[in-house]
Structure 1
């Protein structure tokens, strides 16, 4: 089974303290938590979507052989042998039955779904639904997909839905690394964290090069990643399309260390447009930045835009989030950090899994300290609302335009074994001022563009949030 998760904050279409064991319909049992990347807000990249996409050539470099020989069989403990044997079994492709696909989707909801509205879900009713659905055989894959659609529709959540294989593959722009892996920060035995591969594209660049689920990432292009976040390491992995990156990994928990050369395969397109708008001779210049969505390239390209606009003499900034329907939650959080002071609250999250119940704060100095206008409208949604509310509530920006869409829910996208997928609501967020915007949106400070003198005055009288 391949179950891959991405945290999204998208409007409807026009993840591991507990380790439940999933027993599939055919009777074989596997650890659900290890096969699902539910990291929405746990590691800095919990949100890179890994999905099936065209294969690219990704070969192990003959110039970068294994850095250390595999340990002898006598040096491995029985537990290590057991773990590695399980990993080998998990990576063997298997045929999945129609009933197995339905039960796979059922189990995802059972483990992760957060009922935020109509309260139609309970463990008892959901178990009864599985028993009813699987009481008879399902003859075709099309019938299985129809059953999953009806099963998800019964939850009464417009954001929890089924994706066909074609719909699922179109989400490749959310692959954060460009090599088809998803990283998660996992506690180690010494109280620190290590970065593990907890999702990868089948036959994608990393998979073709020899990386497997459960591998630990040790270095990228010779840079030791110890102490770095998943988001930072994902940034190190990024680069121009069809260029190569060398990743040093430790296979499994007890396997050898190996360096693999992998060819990047980027699908995302830049969502950033920017320009410098010069006023009359006596007025300062304004750096205008439009962000269309929060995909894998959004933060990197926005940083480039901000630095270039500063170098060109921008004294004020406009961040245009109109018609931005959202995308990757973590990217929105990382973009908010570019404007906020260390310690400023970005958002609070809530979910059934403890990893969703936390306060997210800025942990780096801001890239820009100049006054900011954020342009919003009724199609500013999800991750856009996280950014807008974070900048607004921390007195870093004024909001201009229309009331926002009002979506405070977080979805994860899971790949099923036949290449289809399910989108499931797994959490919700509230603003730094503890406002639940779901269904209400954010009311802007101004409907029309104010003068920059008014912006400065508004921000100077803005009541500061108390942190700590």
Structure 2
């Protein structure tokens, strides 16, 4: 777990530790002695010659901050203020614009905007690069500092300068902050089908129980579309529990690190009520971490068809280790591995069916003629169809309408995949099995 976390060493004592190591070093510790000596000389030089006067505590804080930032994009030194802000973030309610960010290829990148938040409503997209926050450049900025700049009092404004793929010049977004309190699970029926659409926007503490509730209510469902697009992840145990709803055996995910005590394997429990239900998982470039664990586990077990775009590729495990005086370290301690043994880190999940976002293409403007348009076509059957009362679209609060499907080609492809599944299924045995278990 790291010596700082185990012993609660304050940052003020690090220099003391260095001196103790120097004093206790033996002949076999020449390389360590040299390294610690270098650190002591650098700290002393900064303390004596830097243009602005800095206290020893300030120098040590900056040294630790730089050290953690240079390990990887997710490790960080948490001052008391940053530690408190992290607690606010994980509580599920805070003032901000509602986007998840990461450092990708050296740039501050939007992993995903969260459904229903100011960022999503303003039109921010996963993959957008944040060039400026208000007037401050994001070059070499730490993630925590960027988050702090974008957070603020609800009702206040923040301006983001965005670089977007295929756009010739930067885009400017003036966004009004709001209280971010996200409903992580929403479920709807796909109109004119027996298919259940479940949208999971993030993995908070109640995701698996909420999805289970929706499945129990939808006793009519003969298939499920699990939408994890632009889901930045969250709690590992919720990813495991959600996967477990649809698996009855085998490994879901494992994590491996330097410390053997951090090597853990998570497996599915028996008697899943939904192990035979036809299933499609939707992902895109904003699907990260816990989302990738769920999609990857179901894909490896050939339990679901994965549709969409390649996912983000965050396959590392972070823990927060408390220090003294309310400070802490967020430290990467392990990597995730899927049931097949493949890693998510930097690779992501490759969909079984690659579908880019957008509306379903139509043939407006093209010429065609049908039997019903011929002068002498047979009238009888057509009359029967035309005499049937037309059912208008109902309020789409509780369902995905056909219009919505035609505006979302990825979701339309998922529906088509499930319909194909039902057509080629050899029998209704599996469906009956599911209904029996659920009733």
1:287 Cα shift?
2.0
Alpha-carbon distance in 2 for matches of 1:431, 1:167: 32
Alpha-carbon distance in 2 for matches of 1:430, 1:294: 19
**Against the structure 1 CA distance between its residues 278 and 328, is the aligned structure 2 distance closer, same or farther, given a 3 Å change threshold?**
closer
- Structure 2, unaligned stretches of length 5 or more? 18-28, 48-53, 93-178, 356-409, 427-439
Deviations 1:254-282 (A, max 9, x none): xxxxxxxxxxxxx99554232322432xx
Match of 2:252 among 341, 346, 355: 346
Match of 1:151 among 67, 71, 79: 67
Q: Tell me, yes or no, if the aligned pair for 1:338 and 1:366 is still in contact at 8 Å.
A: yes
Provide the residue aligned with 1:413 in structure 2.
320
Q: Tell me, yes or no, if the aligned pair for 1:395 and 1:459 is still in contact at 8 Å.
A: no
Provide the residue aligned with 1:393 in structure 2.
300
Tell me, what secondary structure is at the counterpart of 1:381? coil
Alpha-carbon distance in 1 for matches of 2:15, 2:272: 46
Provide the residue aligned with 1:306 in structure 2.
215
Q: Name the structure, 1 or 2, with higher relative contact order (CA <8 Å, separation 6+).
A: 1
Tell me, what secondary structure is at the counterpart of 2:222? strand
| Larger-Rg structure | 2
**Against the structure 1 CA distance between its residues 424 and 339, is the aligned structure 2 distance closer, same or farther, given a 3 Å change threshold?**
same
**Against the structure 1 CA distance between its residues 278 and 320, is the aligned structure 2 distance closer, same or farther, given a 3 Å change threshold?**
closer
Tell me, what secondary structure is at the counterpart of 1:349? strand
Does 2:187 align with 1:275? yes
Alpha-carbon distance in 1 for matches of 2:188, 2:56: 57
Does 2:428 align with 1:428? no
1:414 Cα shift?
1.7
Alpha-carbon distance in 1 for matches of 2:242, 2:16: 37
**Against the structure 1 CA distance between its residues 273 and 357, is the aligned structure 2 distance closer, same or farther, given a 3 Å change threshold?**
closer
Tell me, what secondary structure is at the counterpart of 1:453? helix
**Against the structure 1 CA distance between its residues 353 and 127, is the aligned structure 2 distance closer, same or farther, given a 3 Å change threshold?**
farther
Does 2:71 align with 1:165? no
Alpha-carbon distance in 1 for matches of 2:189, 2:223: 10
* Higher percent of residues as helix: 2
**Against the structure 1 CA distance between its residues 268 and 410, is the aligned structure 2 distance closer, same or farther, given a 3 Å change threshold?**
farther
Alpha-carbon distance in 2 for matches of 1:415, 1:440: 31
Tell me, what secondary structure is at the counterpart of 2:223? strand
1:103 Cα shift?
8.1
Match of 1:290 among 180, 196, 199: 199
Provide the residue aligned with 2:146 in structure 1.
none
Alpha-carbon distance in 1 for matches of 2:302, 2:63: 48
What TM-score do you get using the length of structure 1 for normalisation?
A: 0.48
Count of residues in Structure 1 that have an aligned counterpart in Structure 2: 259
- Structure 1, unaligned stretches of length 5 or more? 1-14, 25-31, 37-95, 105-122, 177-266, 461-468
Does 2:245 align with 1:329? no
What TM-score do you get using the length of structure 2 for normalisation?
A: 0.51
